[in-house]
Structure 1
Amino acid sequence: MTMVTSDAFRNAMAHFATGVAVVTARGAEGECGATISAFSSVSLDPLTLLICLHHKSATCRAIEESGTFGISILRSNQKDMAMYFAGKSDGKSFGEYCVKHESGNFFVKDALVHIGVNVVETLRGGTHEIFLAQPLSIDFHPDQSSQPLVYFRGAFDLAA
């Protein structure tokens, strides 16, 4: 049996394949975005989902300030978008890669799904903020035969 350390835990969690999404928000520092895999549905009644972001990230601060954010579930051919939004938001041009929704939220162009949400509750989990949110808008990519981008063992891969 392996001793439970942060490295062993990270390795164990890397064995859980997950979809990849980009969270976008606008705060006092401007437009921010982050690639996440910590994203899940919570409840159908009331409609609730959750995301987790490091509490020191600019995207986390923007969500705390605005109370709203956009989620773009990436398609298998959008590894470049996942990498782009995986780094710091400073100095990035979101206009080139995103589209603005009538709600004011913005989303990654050509993503599989766009979900606009409002924050319902925020919880702290160690180094991360857990945002519970209510979906307010959902838009699907016209080509629903597209596969999602998947993250497994520390790498982006095509869905099986």
Structure 2
Amino acid sequence: MTEVTSDVFRLAMAHFATGVAVVTAEGEQGEQGATISALSSVSLDPLTLLICVNRASATCRAVEHAGRFALSILSREQEAVARHFALPSGGKDDAVPMHRHEDGRLFVKDALVEIGCTVVETLRGGTHEIFLARPDHITMNSRADAAPLLYFRGSFSLSG
């Protein structure tokens, strides 16, 4: 049996393939964004999803400040977008095509799915904040042949 350490736990969890998304929110220092893979549906009644964001990040502070966020689920063609928003600076500049929804939330252009969310509860989970949120609007941009960008064993994986 292997001793459970943070390195062993990280390696074990890396074997669970996840989708990749970008979360953005308007904070006190302007628009912030981060790449996340910790995203899950929670309930259909009431409609609830969760995201996990590192507490030390400007994006976490922006979500807390705004009480809402934009979630862009990425396609396999958007690995560069995922890498851009994974930078410590968050890469909030004009290098990534974005568009603003009529409610003001900022989404990655051509994402598979866009979900505008309002935070209903925040939980602490070690180094991360867990935001439980209700979807306000959903836009599905995916084509029939579109496939998601996946994260597996510490790397982006082109699905499909």
Q: Does 1:74 align with 2:71?
A: no
CA root-mean-square deviation: 1.4
Aligned residue-pair number:
160
AA at the equivalent of 1:83: R
Task: Give the aligned residue type for 1:34.
Answer: A
Equivalent-residue separation in structure 1 for 2:90 and 2:24 (angstroms): 13
Give the corresponding residue for 1:129. Answer: 129
Q: Which residue in the other structure is 1:45 paired with?
A: 45
- Find the counterpart in structure 2 of residue 156 from structure 1: 156
Partner of 1:34: 34
Shift of 1:90: 5.9
With normalisation by structure 1, the TM-score equals: 0.95
- Please give the alpha-carbon distance, in whole angstroms, between the structure 2 residues aligned to 1:90 and 1:158: 22
- Equivalence for 1:98: 98
Structure 2 vs 1, CA of residues 105 and 89 (structure 1 numbering), >3 Å: closer, same or farther? farther
Identity %: 62
Change (3 A) 1:96 1:17: closer
2:129 & 2:6 partners in 1: Cα distance?
A: 19
Conserved in 2, the CA contact under 8 Å of 1:39 and 1:50? yes
Counterpart of 1:101, as a letter, is H
Identify if the C-alpha distance between structure 1 residues 47 and 94 changes in structure 2 by more than 3 Å, giving closer, same or farther.
farther
For the residues of structure 2 that align with 1:59 and 1:119, how far apart are their CA atoms?
14
Q: How far apart are the structure 2 equivalents of 1:82 and 1:91? A: 10
- Asked if structure 1 preserves the Cα contact closer than 8 Å seen for 2:85 and 2:91, the reply is no
CA distance in 2, matches of 1:100, 1:144: 24
Aligned to 1:62: 62
Q: Distance in 2 between matches of 1:82 and 1:54?
A: 16
1:20 correspondence with 2:20? yes
Following the alignment from structure 1 to structure 2, what is the Cα–Cα distance between the partners of residues 111 and 50?
Answer: 19
Quickly say closer, same or farther: Cα 1:25–1:89, change in 2 above 3 A. farther
Report the CA distance between 1:97 and its aligned residue.
Answer: 2.0
Q: Which runs of 5+ in 2 are unaligned?
A: none
Does the 8 Å contact 1:33/1:89 carry over to 2?
Answer: no
Q: Which range moves more in the overlay, 107-116 or 140-149?
A: 140-149
Contact kept, 8 Å, 1:31 with 1:94, in 2: the verdict is no
Normalising by structure 2, we get a TM-score of: 0.95
Q: Which runs of 5+ in 1 are unaligned?
A: none
1:47 offset after TM fit, Å?
0.1
